[in-house]
Amino acid sequence: MKTTLIFLVIFCTSIANAQTLEVGLRVQKTQEMYWENGVSAQFSFAKFKPEQFFLGLDYVTSRLGTAYQSNAIKQDSYLLSGSWLFNKNKPYHIVTRFNMGYFYSDLEEDMFAAIPNTSFLVSPEVGLKYNFKKMPISLNLGVGFYIITAKEGYSPGTLQPLYYHLDLYYSILKTRKK
């Protein structure tokens, strides 16, 4: 809850200075592990590399994926990201992104309290983004890799490194350049 509030404060402060604000849905699959879906938002600043540098906030959870109505582990990932878009004047862009965040898996029972279930997240990503010309919609396809440095047996088991995601963004704010 505390983590969610911190993320919301950062989000609200940042959009006040936003040139572009995109919000959308994320569908994510981890290699040999869960579907984790959620929401994604990103914005660029009018005074710093508009349309090229984006700050983003993402939340994905297995509660909206594999763990929905199943016995899979319920887990949440909160991410803060910085993205750099290449080909900024074209409808399609190569995207490089760096994420930092926090992972939590709910093991539910007291007897499992000693099992590692949280982790800080760091992951580089590459992807492709396509902006539809006549609609305020864009698609972003990315592949990322969580850098997990914990000793084997000391990090959450269902946190695995390689993941793919597809984001569908809707631009709710796009300030014209002056």
Partner 1 sequence: MKKISFLFIYILVTISFSCSGPTITDDLLDGEVVFDPSLYNPEQFLVSAKYPIPTPADLNKHIILAVHGYTATTFEWQEFQDWSVTPSYRISQVLLGGHGRDYNAFKNSTWEDWRSSITSEYEKLIALGYTRISLVGSSTGGTLLLELVNSGYFNNHLHPKNIFLVDPIVVPSNKLQTLVGIIGPMIVYVETDQTAAENNYWYRFRPYETINELNNVMSIVRKGLENGMTLPSGTYLKVFHSLHDPVASTTSSVLIYKGLKTSSGSKIEVQLIYSDIHVFTRLNLRTKVTLLQKNNQLDVFNQIANKLN
Does position 13 interact with partner 1 (CB under 8 A)? The reply is no
* Joined tokens for residue 81: 């990201």
Looking at the Cβ atoms of 15 and 122, the one nearer to partner 1 is: 122
| Subset of 156-175 contacting partner 1 (CB under 8 A) | 156-158, 160-162
Looking at the Cβ atoms of 21 and 33, the one nearer to partner 1 is: 33
Helix (H) or strand (E) holding 8: helix 2-15
What's the angle, vertex CA 90, arms to CA 131 and CA 88, rounded to 5? 95
Determine how β-strand 35-45 pairs with β-strand 74-85: unpaired
For residue 178, the cross-strand partners are none
**Using the rule CB under 8 A, which residue among 66, 77, 81, 83 binds partner 1?**
66
Please spell the DSSP secondary structure of 117-156, one letter per residue.
-EEEEEEEEEEEEEE-SSSSEEEEEEEEE----SPTTSS-
Does position 96 interact with partner 1 (CB under 8 A)? The reply is no
Amino acid in position 139: L
Does position 31 interact with partner 1 (CB under 8 A)? The reply is yes
Does position 70 interact with partner 1 (CB under 8 A)? The reply is yes
CB of 2 to partner 1, least distance (A): 24
Task: Write each residue from 100 to 139 as x if it is in contact with partner 1 (CB under 8 A), else as -, in one continuous string.
Answer: -----x-xxx-xx-xxx-----------------------
CA distance 23 to 140: 12
Looking at the Cβ atoms of 9 and 115, the one nearer to partner 1 is: 115
- The rounded radius of gyration (Å) of the Cα atoms in the chain is 17
For 107, the 3-state DSSP assignment is coil
Q: Which among 35-43, 67-75, 82-90, 126-134 is the span making contact with partner 1, rule CB under 8 A?
A: 67-75
Looking at the Cβ atoms of 77 and 138, the one nearer to partner 1 is: 77
Residues near partner 1 (CB under 8 A) are 30-33, 66, 70-73, 105, 107-109, 111-112, 114-116, 148, 151-158, 160-162
